[in-house]
Amino acid sequence: MSKKRERLEVICDMLKSVESQKEIGPTRLLYSSNLSPQMFRDYKEEMLEKGFLEEKDTGKGKVVFILMVKGCSFLEKYKVILEFVENFGL
């Protein structure tokens, strides 16, 4: 049985999905995140609130997510954060 993903790992996976697609719709991001809809909503809200992602209206009544500078910083620093957490038993 695979280990439950940690919060930081989920955020990293979601941001990577957005990064690889440049822009991604909510449904595709939900599928790629492998989360329940409720959990996806919570994570999405958190990432929008923190400025990792931004919602962009495509003009056709559709919304897509794009990666922001802060989201890129998170991805760049992810390994450092993880190392910090693991080395100090946090």
Instruction: Give the CA-trace dihedral at 50, 55, 30, 28, to 10 degrees.
Output: -140
Site string for another protein, 3-32 (x = CB under 8 A): ----xx------------------------
User: Which one of 2, 27, 38, 87 is in contact with another protein (CB under 8 A)?
Assistant: 87
What backbone phi and psi angles, to 5 degrees, belong to 53? -125, 160
53, burial (CB in 10 Å: exposed 0-12, middle 13-18, buried 19+): buried
# of chain residues touching another protein (CB under 8 A): 18
Site string for another protein, 57-86 (x = CB under 8 A): -------------x--xx--x--xx-xxxx
